[in-house]
Amino acid sequence: MKISLRAGERVYINGAVLRVDRKVSLELVNDVMFLLEGQVMQASDATTAMRQLYFIVQLMLMNPTDIAAAASLYAQHHTALLAVCESREMLDGLAAIDEMVGGTRYFEALKRIRALFPLEEAILAGATSESPIKAA
């Protein structure tokens, strides 16, 4: 896997944060977990249930040596989402995400969660007091 970074950009690799001082290309020659700075969600941006799920899985990816607390939080949050979701597409997405997280395929899970953001936004836009998804 080859990634290119701009000056000042960060990449998170197996729990380490690397910041480059100039434009650089990195070739990752073995299997590592990484996130580019643009894919990292800040806690303050985790304002909906799916964004909170993203943030939790992101924690698991960014700190692979200590995921116990994040894994527990993930299980609770995922279970709560399953309990309130009525959308078949959302439920199918949550099932796929859970399979990916169970297989430690966190990056793929993050991509799948991001793909559900527009669906969540549409559901919330039509929300009433009995919304199928509520921000946790």
Model pTM above 0.85: no
How confident is the prediction along the chain (136 residues), in pLDDT tens digits per residue? 788 888 988 888 877 888 989 998 988 888 777 777 778 888 898 999 999 999 999 999 888 778 899 999 999 999 999 999 989 999 999 999 999 999 999 999 999 999 999 999 998 888 644 444 444 4
Say what angle helices 106-125 and 49-62 make with each other, to 10 degrees.
Answer: 170
Per residue in 22-34, is it b (16+ CB within 10 Å) or e — as a string? eeeeeeeeeeebb
Q: Is 133 exposed, middle or buried (0-12, 13-18, 19+ CB in 10 A)?
A: buried
Number of CB atoms found within 10 A of residue 73's CB? 17
